[in-house]
């Protein structure tokens, strides 16, 4: 977050110290088996010459950490010129590359006043640039490595549309007109959201505000801001007043992978905001996957048994047929999913007996996840976008499994057969399931006699997104003892408990729960509706 900087520096010669190191690295690369060396060196100028934004970096303790909130550190590589911005400085340098090897000359740095945390980040950032000796490029991700091939920094070239409505925003850093920077006081949590239609709402940390905004090709005007200031400590109130007065001088904006930058007429970033998107809090179910023509290839009915959960450094879920795990990287609006491991039986090809194109649906779903470079949140709807900002997939958060009492709508009595045998509960019987936090699932089996209704309890686990395992189901009640076990209600009880313990997946919607075995729903539930009594 600093002044806009566009000039570049002339190319420098390699220093005498670095020369032998480069020679050594080239010798080590040449010593690799021919196939490996060739594969690692297939990096062209078009792969490298982009504007890159930092996602993770090696900190002063040697740990890989995400970039600090509100810091839009960048590295632009073009025609042997290297330049960009750190937390409170800009820099110019040059670079030399041959295959995977890369050396960045000591940069000329222009520094601005900033807080100690930002200054410490800048020191580490420039140290990492100086230690870079090789690179790898994978889709939208660039990784810099040191002399022993340990990662230094990971950057993205994802292009984010200049649309401030892509997320709610948390304010991370505030700058004065001279470029001096201060972080937001902890505990105040100022935020703002740009609503479609031209309204802005938010909190200064000491009260709410409401106003209007207009945008046009990267310019922004925020007007008619009405606010209230609640009772706050003096420092907090002063910061709130600074935020509100700064809104009046905003003339430009940028949406970058790191977040939203609001700038004044001199190009100084005055407010730096990070997206308020908690992906890891929910499991997401896709409702549309898009092809290269921008048209939806598959819709919610096709993707009904697919789901994904994005953890901080990993991704997990299930396709239409089986579960998967993958590596994940998230920072700001940037996202990357790689190294998929699919677990379970492969999706079958289409046939007359099974015309649903399961294999094609799974391939489209996984391909879209692999191509994701950024994300946006509009209301409850999550969008995954490719490196050029095209929408790949739209998803909705999965409803909670725990909480509602679920009532069985139907069961598939022959889950291994080609054709489903769906049966509704026997007339006048109700089968229920309530999943508790403990975690146990309990409910009624639908079997009853004069002594009462049979209840059941079982243990369950949800080891990852939309996966479930139900075990140790036991029945409490006398309705199916002895000869009674042959009646319809008791056969239904046995089938229900068998299917419950056979389930390996689940999908929750607001109005339905389905337990799955592979790609197939074997029990369908609806939430219990509590009737009302008319007075």
pLDDT in tens, 340-349: 999 888 888 8
Per DSSP, the residues of 56-109 read EEE-TTS-EEEPPTT---EEEEETTEEEEE-SSEEEEEEEEEETTEEEEPPPEE
Average pLDDT on 507-532 reads 87
CA 251 to chain centroid: 30
Average pLDDT over residues 247-267: 93
Overall number of domains in the chain = 4
Does residue 328 sit within a domain?
A: yes
Q: Where does a domain end: 395, 416, 442?
A: 395
115-119, 191-195, 388-392, 501-505: the lowest-pLDDT one: 115-119
Q: Percent of the chain having pLDDT more than 90?
A: 65
Which one, of 357, 359, 343, lies nearest residue 504 by Cα?
Answer: 343
Question: Measured between alpha carbons, how far is 285 from 288 in angstroms, rounded to an integer?
Answer: 9
More confident residue, 286 or 37: 286
Say if residue 173 is in the same domain as residue 115: no
Report the pLDDT averaged over residues 486-502: 96
The three-state secondary structure class of 228 is coil
CATH code for the domain of 114: 2.40.128.270
- Decide if 25 is inside a domain: yes
| Alpha carbon 169 to chain centroid, angstroms | 15
Do 252 and 314 reside in the same domain of the chain?
A: no
- CA 102 to CA 134: how far, in whole Å? 5
Question: What average pLDDT does range 207-212 have in this prediction?
Answer: 96
Residue 90 lies in domain = 18-156
The model's confidence at residue 4, banded by pLDDT at 50, 70 and 90, is: very low
How many other C-beta atoms lie within 10 A of the C-beta of residue 343?
Answer: 12
Q: Residue 128: which residues within 8 A CB-CB, separation 6 or more?
A: 57, 58, 144, 152, 153
Residues 149 and 91 occupy one common structural domain: yes
381 & 420 share domain: no
pTM as predicted: 0.80
Q: Could you tell me if 311 and 340 lie in one domain?
A: yes
Asked if residue 271 and residue 387 are part of one domain, the reply reads no
Instruction: Assess whether 291 and 415 both reside in one domain.
Output: no
State both tokens at 194. 């740009």
Mean pLDDT value of segment 422-439: 95
438 with 512, same domain?
Answer: yes
Shared domain check, 40 and 85: yes
Q: Are residues 36 and 82 both part of a single domain?
A: yes
* CA atoms within 13 Å, Cβ hemisphere of 356: 16
The residues pairing with 513 across neighbouring beta strands, listed in sequence order, are: 508, 525
What share of the chain in percent tops pLDDT 70?
A: 91
Residue-wise pLDDT tens digits, 185-197: 888 899 999 999 9
Helices (H), 225-295: 234-247
Strand partners, 57: 65, 153
The C-alpha atoms of residue 433 and residue 431 are separated, in whole angstroms, by 7
Does 330 share its domain with 255?
Answer: no
Using the 3D structure, point to which of 112, 139, 156 is the last residue of a domain. 156
pLDDT band (50, 70, 90) for residue 8: very low
Pick from 275, 302, 322: which residue ends a domain? 275
Whether residue 301 has pLDDT greater than 70: yes
pLDDT higher for 308 or 187? Answer: 308
pLDDT surpassing 70 at residue 33: no
Quote the CA–CA distance of 22 and 99 in Å, as a whole number: 12
- Measured in whole angstroms, the distance separating CA 123 from the mean position of its chain's CA atoms is 29
Q: Are residues 245 and 294 in the same domain?
A: no
What letter does residue 241 receive in the DSSP assignment? H
């Amino acid at each position: 977050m600093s002044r806009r900087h566009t000039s570049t520096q002339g190319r420098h010669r390699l220093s005498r110290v670095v020369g032998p190191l480069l020679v050594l690295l080239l010798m080590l690369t040449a010593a690799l088996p021919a196939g490996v060396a060739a594969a690692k060196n297939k990096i062209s100028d078009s792969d490298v010459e982009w504007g890159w934004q930092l996602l993770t970096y090696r900190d002063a303790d040697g740990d890989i950490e995400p970039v600090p909130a509100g810091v839009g550190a960048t590295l632009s590589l073009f025609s042997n010129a290297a330049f960009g911005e750190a937390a409170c400085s800009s820099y110019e340098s040059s670079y030399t590359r041959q295959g995977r090897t890369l050396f960045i000359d000591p940069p000329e740095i222009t520094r601005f006043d900033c807080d100690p945390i930002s200054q410490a980040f800048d020191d580490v950032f420039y140290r990492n640039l100086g230690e870079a000796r090789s690179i790898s490029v994978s889709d939208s991700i660039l990784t810099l490595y040191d002399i022993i091939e340990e990662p230094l920094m990971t950057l993205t070239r994802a292009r984010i549309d200049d649309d401030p409505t892509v997320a709610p925003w948390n304010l991370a850093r505030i700058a004065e007109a001279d470029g001096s920077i201060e972080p937001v006081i902890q505990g105040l949590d100022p935020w703002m959201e740009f609503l479609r239609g031209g309204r802005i709402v938010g909190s200064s940390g000491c009260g709410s505000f409401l106003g209007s905004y207009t945008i046009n090709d990267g310019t922004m005007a925020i007007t008619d801001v009405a606010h209230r200031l609640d009772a706050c400590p003096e420092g907090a109130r002063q910061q709130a007043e600074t935020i509100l007065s700064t809104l009046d001088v905003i003339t430009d904006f940028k949406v970058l992978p790191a977040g939203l930058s609001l700038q004044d007429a001199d190009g100084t970033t005055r407010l730096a905001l990070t997206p308020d998107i908690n992906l890891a809090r929910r499991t997401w179910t896709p409702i549309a996957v898009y092809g290269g023509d921008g048209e939806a290839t598959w819709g919610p009915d096709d993707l009904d048994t697919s789901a994904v959960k994005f953890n901080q450094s990993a991704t997990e879920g299930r396709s239409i047929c089986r579960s998967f795990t993958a590596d994940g990287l998230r920072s700001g609006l940037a996202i990357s999913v790689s190294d998929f491991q699919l677990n379970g039986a492969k999706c079958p090809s289409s046939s007359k007996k099974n015309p649903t194109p399961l294999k094609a649906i799974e391939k489209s779903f996984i391909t879209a996840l692999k191509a994701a470079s950024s994300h946006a949140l509009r209301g409850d709807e999550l969008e995954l976008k490719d490196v050029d900002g095209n929408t790949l997939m739209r998803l909705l958060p999965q409803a909670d499994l725990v909480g509602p009492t679920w009532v069985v709508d139907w069961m598939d009595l022959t889950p291994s057969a080609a054709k489903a045998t769906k049966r509704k509960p026997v007339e006048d019987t109700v089968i229920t399931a309530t999943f508790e936090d403990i975690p146990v699932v309990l409910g009624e089996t639908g079997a009853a006699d004069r002594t009462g209704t049979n209840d059941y309890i079982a243990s369950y686990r949800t080891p990852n997104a939309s996966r479930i395992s139900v075990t140790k189901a036991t029945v409490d009640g006398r309705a199916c003892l002895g000869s009674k076990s042959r009646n319809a209600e008791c056969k239904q009880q046995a089938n229900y408990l068998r299917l419950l313990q056979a389930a390996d997946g689940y999908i929750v919607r607001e109005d339905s729960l389905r337990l799955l075995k592979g790609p197939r729903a074997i029990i369908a539930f609806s939430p219990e509706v509590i009737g009302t009594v008319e007075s």
